[in-house]
Amino acid sequence: MKGFKFAGIHAGIKKNDQKDLGLIYCEKPSVAAALFTRNKVIAAPVILGKEKIKIGVCRAVLANSGNANCFTGNQGIEDARACSKMVADCLDIEEDHVLVSSTGVIGANLPMDKFKTGVPDVVQQLSEDNVDQFADAILTTDTCRKIVNRSATIDNKKFSIMGIAKGSGMIRPDMATMLAYICTDICISADDLNKCLSAANEKSFNRITVDGDTSTNDTLMAMASGTSEAQINDAGSKKIFQDMLDDVCFELAKMVVKDGEGATKLAQIIIKGAQTKKDAFKAAEAIAHSNLVKTAIYGEDPNWGRITAAVGRSGAHVVPEKIDLYFDDQALVLKGDWQGTEAEKKTAQIMKNSEITITLDLNLGQETDSFLFCDFSEDYVKINADYRS
Amino acid sequence: MKGFKFAGIHAGIKKNDQKDLGLIYCEKPSVAAALFTRNKVIAAPVILGKEKIKIGVCRAVLANSGNANCFTGNQGIEDARACSKMVADCLDIEEDHVLVSSTGVIGANLPMDKFKTGVPDVVQQLSEDNVDQFADAILTTDTCRKIVNRSATIDNKKFSIMGIAKGSGMIRPDMATMLAYICTDICISADDLNKCLSAANEKSFNRITVDGDTSTNDTLMAMASGTSEAQINDAGSKKIFQDMLDDVCFELAKMVVKDGEGATKLAQIIIKGAQTKKDAFKAAEAIAHSNLVKTAIYGEDPNWGRITAAVGRSGAHVVPEKIDLYFDDQALVLKGDWQGTEAEKKTAQIMKNSEITITLDLNLGQETDSFLFCDFSEDYVKINADYRS
C-alpha cells in the first residue's frame, strides 16, 4: 500500500514468544477517522484516541497485544501518552499525530520497560512489505492473521484499500468491535472518511457477534494517505469508495467471526419481512446471541425450535403462524408449519457445511437485517476458562 | 401436603426409560394463580393455561417432559385440550379445572397414544406420598429433583408451602422461568394468591439465568387447598405467607441455577450503589449473562476485568473510578483500584468454592439488585450440541 510502512515484533509483552507490538507509519500526515467502543468502561488508549482523532490527521499507530491497558486509572493514561511520545520521538513526528491501541488482559499496567526497548526496535523494522508482521502483532486468541486487500479505479485512476483486523473474543456489535485498521491511498476529506467509515461499520462490525460481550478497547480506524491520484469529488466516486470500503469491512468482520474463539462454523442469520427496521435488528441479534442456537449449530442440528424461541423473546413483533425458516435454500418451516422429515434430513445435511445461511421470514412487513455469528464449542469454554492462567 | 395427591410415571414420551408424565390432584377445587413466559412464541399448554387460570380455580395439573408441545399449531392446542379432557374424565372433574404443562423438545407433536395409556396409569398412582415421583417426571436435563418444604403458623394455626420445580436450560428471567408448582394448604383468595405469587416471582425466578434464553413454556403455578385452618385475613398474616412463599421460590430458583446445564458453581452478583433501580437490574443482568464472566468462574479466575467490562456495556450509569468489587468479603477493587497480588491470591482461593458471592458497588446512589447464575463449562456445550440426537 503506497504511503504506508508496517512492522511487528515480539517485545516481551506477551508471556509466550509471539509478536506483540505493531506499528503503522504513514510517510506523510494521513487523513484519519476512527470509531471506538460504546462500552462505558473504556481503555486508556481509547480515551486518548477519542481526543486525538478530532484533528483528523494521523501519522502513526502503535498497537500492542497481551495487555489492554484498561481499568488502569491515571497510570494507564500516562503510560499510553508515554508510548505515543516514544513513537513520536523515534520517528521525529508530532505526538498529536500518534495513536495507540492495546488489546489483551484488562486491569494490569502496561509493562513500560518492554515498550522502552520495543518501540525503537519496531520502528527499525518499518517497511512497506511488513504488513503480515503487523497483522500478527495485534492478535490475541485469534488463530490466523486477518488482512483484506481491494483495489478499483475512479476516473481511470487506481486506488486501493487494505484492512487489517484482530478478534476474537469479547465480540459484540456496539460501534467498532475489536481492533481494525484501514489503510487507503485515496484522496478524501476527513469528514467524508469518517462518514464512509461509520456507514461501512454499521453494515459489518456492528452486525457480528462471537460471545455477546463488548470489548473495552474496540477501535476501527481508517487512514487515507492520498498518495494515489484517485479523488473523492462527487457522489459517483464516493459510491465507488464506499462500496469497496463496505466490502473490506464486511470481509474483515467475516474473518473475525470465522476465527471466533472456539468457532468451527460461520453462520449468517437473515431476517426478512419484519414490520420495522428495529424489529429486524432485534430478531437477528437475539438469534445470533443465543447460546442454545450456537450450540445446536455446533452439534449440526437444524434445531428450529431454538431459533423460533429466540425470535420469540427478541422483543420483535412475531406471529408464529406466519414464520418461514430456511437453511440455505431448504425450507424447514413454512407459515409456522414444520415441513416434515424429508425437509429435516436435507437441512441436517446442510448443517454439516462450514458456512450456513439461516433465513427467517417474519412475513409481517418489508424490513430486513442480518448478523454474522459463529457456533459455540467446548473450546470457547476452554479458551476462556484458562485465558489469564 | 394436606389436600394434594401426586404421581409420576414413565409413559414413553421420553426415549429413555425415565419418568415423563406427572400429575398433581387437589381433592377439593383449589384457589389457583399462575404466571407464564413472556416469550412471544409460546407453547400450546401455555396458550391454554393463560385462558384457564382466569377462573382462579384448579383441581389437577398434568405435566409431561420430553416434548414441549410448542410450535405445533392448531394440532398442539387440540392435543393439549385432549390431554385435559382425559384427566378430567379419569378423575371425574370439570375439564376447566385441569391445567396442562409440557417441557422438552420444541416443534414435535405430542405422542397422543402415549397419553391415552399414560393418563389412566398416572391417575392410578395418585397418592399423598408420591411427591418425588411427580418431581422426577417433570425433569429434562436436570440432574436432580427440586422440592422445597416450609411451614409456619398464623394465629397458632399451622400451614405449609411446598414447591416443586424443574430447570435447567433456556433459563433467563422473563416472568416465570421454567416449570414450578407451589402447593399450599393456606386459605387465601385467588387475587391475593396471584399478587403474592407475582411478588415472589419477581425476587426469585425473575432474577436467575443459566444461559440467557427464555423458554417458550415457562410456568409458575400456585394452588391453595385451604385445608389448613390458617387464613390470610390481614396485613400481618399476608406478610407471614409472603415471606414464606418468597423463601420457597428463592430456594427453588437457587436449585434451578445450581443444577443449570453443565454448571459446576453457583454465583450471586449483588449490585449496590446504583443511581436507579433499572441501572441496578441492568448491571446485575449483564454480568450474570456474560459468557466471559461465566467461563472465568468455571476457570476459578477472579477476572474482575470481565466483570467491569460487562457492567460497562450494561447501559447502567458507571464511573469506573468509583467501582468497588468484592468476592465474598474480600475486596479486589476499591474506588477503581486493583488491590494488589495479595488480595488477588485471596480471591483466587475464594473462587475455588462451589458458591461465590460477587458484590459490585457502583457508589453512585442507593439502589440495589441481585442475580443468581451459574458458571459455564464444556458440559453445557456438550449437553446442548447433542440434545435432540
A312 and B337: CB-CB below 8 Å?
A: no
Chain B residues within 8 A of A318 when measuring between CB atoms = 40-41
pLDDT, average across residues B52-78: 92
Give strand pairing partners of A9: A21
Q: Are A68 and A45 in contact (CB under 8 A)?
A: no
* Best B168, B306, B337 residue to mutate vs chain A (most A CBs within 10 Å): B306
Tens digits of per-residue pLDDT, A337-358?
889 899 999 999 999 999 999 9
Give strand pairing partners of B99: B61
Tens digits of per-residue pLDDT, B263-299?
899 999 999 999 999 999 999 999 998 888 999 999 9
The pLDDT of residue A173 is: 39
Q: Which residue of A has its CA nearest to B217?
A: A309
A384 annotated binding-site participant? yes
Please give the share of chain A, as a percent, with pLDDT higher than 90. 65
CA distance B150 to B129: 16
B216 and A312: CB-CB below 8 Å?
A: yes
Q: Which residue of B has its CA nearest to A286?
A: B213
- Half-sphere CA count of B46, side-chain side, radius 13 A: 27
- Dihedral sign from CA coordinates of B144, B147, B148, B149: negative
Nearest to A311 among B41, B289, B306 (CB): B41
Dihedral angle of Cα B341, B347, B352, B353, to the nearest 10 degrees: 160
Q: Three-state SS for A106?
A: coil
Indicate if the pLDDT at residue A168 is higher than 80. Answer: no
Indicate if the pLDDT at residue B191 is higher than 80. Answer: yes
Q: Which residue of A has its CA nearest to B386?
A: A299
Indicate if the pLDDT at residue B248 is higher than 90. Answer: yes
Q: Which domains does chain A have, with CATH numbers?
A: 4-258 (3.60.70.12), 266-385 (3.10.20.340)
Q: Which residue of B has its CA nearest to A389?
A: B301
Q: How high does pLDDT run on average in chain A?
A: 90
Distance from CA of A219 to the nearest CA of B (A): 15
Tens digits of per-residue pLDDT, A224-260?
999 998 999 999 999 999 999 999 999 988 888 888 8
The pLDDT of residue A167 is: 79
Tens digits of per-residue pLDDT, B142-181?
888 989 999 999 999 999 999 998 876 655 433 324 788 9
The pLDDT of residue B210 is: 65
CA distance A57 to A334: 53
- Which positions ≥6 away from A276 have C-beta within 8 Å? A317, A365, A367
- List the Cα angle B160/B161/B164 in 5-degree steps: 145
A298 and B376: CB-CB below 8 Å?
A: no
Dihedral angle of Cα B7, B8, B13, B17, to the nearest 10 degrees: -150
The pLDDT of residue B259 is: 84
Cell of A294: 450456537
Of A168, A190, A187, A189, the C-alpha closest to A177 is: A168
Specify the residue for cell string 437457587.
B254
B380 and A381: CB-CB below 8 Å?
A: yes
Binding residue positions of B: 140, 166, 177, 261, 384, 389
Indicate if the pLDDT at residue A172 is higher than 60. Answer: no
Chain B residues within 8 A of A310 when measuring between CB atoms = 213
Q: Three-state SS for B112?
A: helix
- List the Cα angle A186/A190/A196 in 5-degree steps: 70
The pLDDT of residue B105 is: 80
Distance from CA of B296 to the nearest CA of A (A): 5
Distance from CA of B61 to the nearest CA of A (A): 24
A303 and B388: CB-CB below 8 Å?
A: yes
**Amino acid residing at B184:** T
A177 or A160, higher pLDDT = A160
Of B109, B116, B96, the C-alpha closest to B48 is: B96
* Best B38, B39, B71 residue to mutate vs chain A (most A CBs within 10 Å): B71
> For residue A78, how many other CB atoms are within 10 A of its CB?
15
Tens digits of per-residue pLDDT, B6-54?
999 999 999 889 999 999 999 999 999 998 877 777 889 999 999 999 9
- Dihedral sign from CA coordinates of B348, B349, B353, B355: negative
- Which positions ≥6 away from B236 have C-beta within 8 Å? none
Tens digits of per-residue pLDDT, A105-127?
878 899 999 999 999 999 999 99
Helical segments of A259-387, H only: 277-289, 291-298, 304-313, 340-350, 378-385
| Axis-axis angle for helices A291-298, B378-385 (nearest 10) | 70
Distance from CA of A90 to the nearest CA of B (A): 32
The pLDDT of residue A170 is: 59
A313 and B42: CB-CB below 8 Å?
A: no
The pLDDT of residue A176 is: 29
A389 annotated binding-site participant? yes
* Best A41, A75, A325, A334 residue to mutate vs chain B (most B CBs within 10 Å): A41
CA distance A232 to B50: 61
Please give the share of chain B, as a percent, with pLDDT higher than 70. 95
Dihedral angle of Cα B6, B12, B13, B17, to the nearest 10 degrees: 80
Q: Three-state SS for A26?
A: strand
Q: What are phi and psi of A130, to 5 degrees?
A: -95, 35
pLDDT-derived band at A211, boundaries 50, 70, 90: low
Q: Are A378 and A262 in contact (CB under 8 A)?
A: yes
The pLDDT of residue B51 is: 94
B211 and A291: CB-CB below 8 Å?
A: yes
* Active-site residue set of A: 177
CA distance A177 to A170: 9
The pLDDT of residue A12 is: 96
* Best A105, A174, A313 residue to mutate vs chain B (most B CBs within 10 Å): A313
The pLDDT of residue B79 is: 97
**Amino acid residing at B114:** K
pLDDT-derived band at B92, boundaries 50, 70, 90: very high
Q: Which residue of B has its CA nearest to A70?
A: B305
A25 or B217, higher pLDDT = A25
Chain A residues within 8 A of B70 when measuring between CB atoms = 305, 309
B291 and A384: CB-CB below 8 Å?
A: yes
Indicate if the pLDDT at residue A143 is higher than 50. Answer: yes
Q: E-assigned strands of chain B?
A: 4-9, 21-36, 57-67, 98-105, 146-154, 157-166, 179-184, 208-209, 219-224, 266-274, 324-327, 330-334, 337-338, 355-361, 367-374
The pLDDT of residue A25 is: 96
Tens digits of per-residue pLDDT, A45-97?
999 999 999 999 999 999 999 998 988 889 999 999 999 999 999 999 999 99
Distance from CA of B320 to the nearest CA of A (A): 6
Chain B residues within 8 A of A216 when measuring between CB atoms = 305, 308-309, 312
Q: Are A270 and A348 in contact (CB under 8 A)?
A: no
- List the Cα angle A221/A224/A229 in 5-degree steps: 160
Q: Which helix (H) or strand (E) holds A255?
A: helix A235-258
Tens digits of per-residue pLDDT, A302-325?
988 889 988 988 999 999 889 999
pLDDT-derived band at A174, boundaries 50, 70, 90: very low
